[in-house]
A and B are shown apart, each in its own frame.
Chain A
Amino acid sequence: MYKILVKQQLAPSVQLFEVEAPLIARKAKPGQFVILRVNEEGERIPLTIADFNREKGSITLIFQEVGASTTELGLLNEGEFLLDLVGPLGKPTHIEKFGTVVCVGGGIGIAPVYPIARGLKEAGNEVISIIGARSKDILIYEDEMAAVSDELIITTDDGSKGIKALVTQPLKELLDSDKTISLVMAIGPVIMMKFVAETTRPYGVPTVVSLNPIMVDGTGMCGGCRVSVGQENKFACVDGPEFDAHKVDFESLMTRQRMYKSQEKQHSEHLAGKKEGGCKCHSL
């Protein structure tokens, strides 16, 4: 069973779970993901692996309570169990010594960037990391990222910490500097990844993004996670989740992410109703 060994609130509505999963921990590599279910009625939720501990047989998952399903997940406590957990899924990040690499993490995307930055550092790269959030209260993994980066740049939208800017501004400054950047790795909201791609494109610097489209089985069976990469349809679950950022059709991806927006609301309302005891008589 998949016991929650540690639960930690990293920021408002951002949770960390360390979960007992020896078979997954044994195999997990940076860039891979898992799919979990909370209960019998639950959706299959894909989450990127934020860390793994092979000795302890555990993996770390970090998630933001954005919809009904992740809210339900956040209600689980230390010592409780996930109903289902499968992985590691997807192709691992290609890690080798490239030279100087820039790791960009935005919001909750900082979590999955962390093991990649660590892997790149261990492979002998100079790692410059740029992490950004709306505000300092919701900035996560600052210390962890600092520990695996040669240089850490922080940006916030409101200027409450680091530079008041989007992650693309210091990225552009790095590209304009006399440093030779061999690779940019970016994970965050789709819109951020799109602008990272646009920032690096004129410089011709190889840029990799990790995509999180809507997914069901995660093993290539349903095709729901298809993304257009260089005019070709790719399945994020088996061909990815990482792709060449300069070839990804981000517009189509953003549209597809919105497919179940109205149902999301309906699901949240249903769960809220259930929490209040099922009947709606009190609201009449």
Chain B
Amino acid sequence: MSLSLNKNPMPEQDPKVRAKNFAEVSLGYTEELAKAEAERCLQCKAAPCRKGCPVQVDIPAFIKEVKAGDMDSAIAKIKEVNSLPAVCGRVCPQEEQCEKYCVLAKKGQSVGIGRLERYVADTARNKGEITTAVECTSDAQKVAVIGSGPAGLAVAGDLAKKGYKVTIFEALHLPGGVLMYGIPEFRLPKDEVVQVEINNLRKLGVEIVVNAVIGSTFTVDELMEAEGFDAVFIGTGAGLPHFMGVPGENLNGVYSANEFLTRCNLMKAYRFPECGTPIHVGKKVAVVGGGNVAMDGARTALRLGAEHSYIVYRRSEAELPARLEEIHHAKEEGIDFQFLTAPTAVLGNKDGWVTGLQCVRMELGEPDASGRRRPIEIPNSEFVLEVDTVIIAIGQGPNPLVQSTTKGLETNKKGNIAAHEETGATSKPGVFAGGDIVTGAATVILAMGAGKKAAVAIDKYLQEKKTNQ
């Protein structure tokens, strides 16, 4: 049988149809497609794909099970290291990770590892996957996890499997962090995927306390002293949106991407007025930024009824930090990319509403500190995009609440928590940290990788603590 150079495409909703609904864009492989894709895997002994995975899933092993049609073994293989495969299969930037190292990628397209991971996870979930709790002994040590985003969920899953008594504290009313408030329903279904995976953690024995703001409801010191937690993991994410600092940013119709997406995803404003949280979209929307969050904002705006949705990015297409698939999907849906364009002001009317985004055109100069060519303004290139809504998706800083209320917890200049790269250990004994709160805004899987490393370190720390007692 000759090997196809191309990945089996994943069925998707038609772009014209999906740009008007919130149902998932990609429909997932059928059994046939999954088997055909699994056949493409060469089962390399060296498994270069694994080194591209931040949590080192045994990729050839699970694909072998798909090929054999043994889905129970396939999910078990993945779950040995990844407690959220249905999420990762959907949102990991596979082209920069596992798939980048696939031998097939040298001649053609890599194996669709992400698509297969998703297929395995979805099949297991649809079958009614059984997760059994690991019994905690009455003297089990207690671990508090602050934040229920990808980093926190990864730590919690791994430590619960080891028999620790894990409690997650979440500030919002639902657990999941960015998986709930940030990534849109059409990329990552909330009830069917995120909450199901989180419920699997609950079945493992993880307790989740929502509406608990650490730094206020409890401090880290209180958790360790009064509440008897033996270790604490901080995974509070990158939760403080940056604004551009240009005139007009407080006009009505200007949102941070965090706010726009939170209203839509967590608060379900797309079901307004059935759901009580309103959202303003207007006819024309400009989203500033070039990452996944910007793509999410622009595509969400279309689905909320915008007639025209721009991405305004100051560098060129080659520098877009978003996942390839998101860029591809955005283009298919008709998002208008304004590359080499930087906003200089938001314009408004006398009632305080946005009427336009004033921009300048840019060109690329010498590489800057990030290695990317620095955008330079072209003189006299000013123009106005007429829009009703501006969404700012230029990144986030760390939320200071935990750091500012915890004695002896060191931070770096940017306010991120200083933590050891391999262990997540902070300057405060027994306190570990990982994910965006340490690295600055990054990806779901990197945060999960940091969580997994921290889980190993926390286990070691607690074993030593027990021995020394």
The complex places the Cα of A85 from the Cα of B171 at a distance, in Å, of 10
Which partner residue on chain B sits nearest A68 by CB separation?
B276
Q: Are A219 and B277 in contact (CB under 8 A)?
A: no
CB-contacts of A193-214 with B (<8 A): none
| Beta-carbon contact of B272 and A219 below 8 Å | no
Stretch at the interface among B102-110, B235-243, B322-330: B235-243
The size of the chain A interface, using a CB distance under 8 A, is 45
A266 CB–B CB distance under 8 Å: yes
Asked if B164 lies at the interface with its beta carbon under 8 angstroms from chain A, I say no
A270 contacts B by Cβ under 8 Å = yes
B399 close to A (CB within 8 Å): yes
Q: Mark A213-249, 1 if CB is under 8 A from B, else 0.
A: 0001101111110111000010000100000000001
Q: At the interface, yes or no: B274 with Cβ under 8 Å from chain A?
A: yes
- Quick one: given A68-B276, A86-B171, A89-B216, are A233 and B401 in contact (CB under 8 Å)? no
Interface residues on B, range: 35 or more
Check B217–A222 contact: CB distance below 8 A. no
Across-interface contacts of A269 in B (CB, < 8 A):
273
| A49 CB to nearest chain B CB (Å) | 12
Rounded to whole angstroms, the CA-CA distance of A208 and B280 in the bound complex is: 31
Which A residues lie at the B interface, using CB under 8 A?
23-24, 27, 37, 41-44, 68-69, 72, 83-89, 216-217, 219-224, 226-228, 233, 238, 249, 252, 255-256, 258-260, 263-264, 266-267, 269-271
How far, in Å, is B112 (CB) from chain A's closest CB?
A: 34
Would A260 and B278 be within 8 Å (CB), given that A221-B258, A228-B250 are in contact?
yes
Provide the residues of chain B in CB contact with A252, threshold 8 Å. 250, 352
Report chain A residues within 8 Å CB of B241: 221-223
Interface residues of B in 207-221 (CB under 8 A from A): 210-213, 216-218
Asked whether, in the complex, the Cβ of A223 is within 8 Å of the Cβ of B213, the reply is no
Chain A residues in 8 Å Cβ range of B369? none
> Quick check: A221 and B239 within 8 Å, CB to CB?
yes
Q: Which B residues lie within 8 Å of A23 (CB)?
A: 212, 217-218
B216 pairs with A220, CB closer than 8 A: no
Cα of A227 to Cα of B249 in the assembled complex, Å:
11
Contact with B173, one of A44, A267, A270 (Cβ below 8 angstroms): A44
5 contacts across the A-B interface (CB closer than 8 A) = A42-B275, A88-B216, A88-B217, A89-B213, A219-B172
Q: How far is the CA of A4 from the CA of B33 in the complex (A)?
A: 55
CB pair A238 B401 closer than 8 Å = yes
User: Is the Cβ of A216 less than 8 Å from the Cβ of B263?
Assistant: yes
With A86-B217, A223-B243: A37-B250 Cβ-Cβ less than 8 Å: no
B262 contacts the other chain (CB 8 A) = yes
Q: Is the CB of A217 within 8 A of B276?
A: no
User: In the assembly, what is the distance between CA of A41 and CA of B243, in Å?
Assistant: 30
User: A23-B217, A267-B272 are contacts. A256–B252 as well, Cβ < 8 Å?
Assistant: yes
What 8 A-B pairs come out closest when comparing CB atoms? A255-B352, A263-B278, A222-B259, A270-B273, A86-B211, A43-B276, A223-B256, A221-B239
B456 at the interface (CB under 8 A from A): no
Q: Which residue of A lies closest to B216 (CB)?
A: A88
| Interchain CB contact under 8 A, B401 and A219 | yes
Closest to A32 in B: B216
Q: How far is the CB of B288 from chain A (nearest CB, A)?
A: 14
- Mark B186-225 against chain A: 1 for CB-CB distance below 8 A, else 0: 0000000000000000000000001111001110000000
Contact B267 A44 (CB under 8 A): yes
Q: Decide: A219 near B213, CB < 8 A? Known: A86-B171, A86-B173, A238-B401.
A: yes
**Is B217 touching A44 in the complex (CB atoms < 8 A)?**
no
A228 contact set on B, CB distance < 8 A: 250
Residues of B within 8 A of A264 (CB): 278
Assess whether A221 is in contact with B262, with CB atoms less than 8 Å apart.
yes
Say yes or no for B313: interface residue by CB 8 A criterion. Answer: no
Kindly list 12 other residue pairs between chains A and B, CB separation below 8 angstroms, not including A217-B171, A217-B172: A23-B212, A41-B271, A68-B273, A86-B212, A89-B216, A216-B267, A219-B399, A220-B239, A238-B399, A238-B401, A270-B273, A271-B273
Bound-state CA distance A258–B375 (Å) is 37
B351 within 8 A of A: yes
Distance of A260 Cα from B277 Cα, bound (Å)? 10
CA distance A267 to B210 in the complex (A): 27
Structural contact, B213 and A84, CB atoms closer than 8 A: no
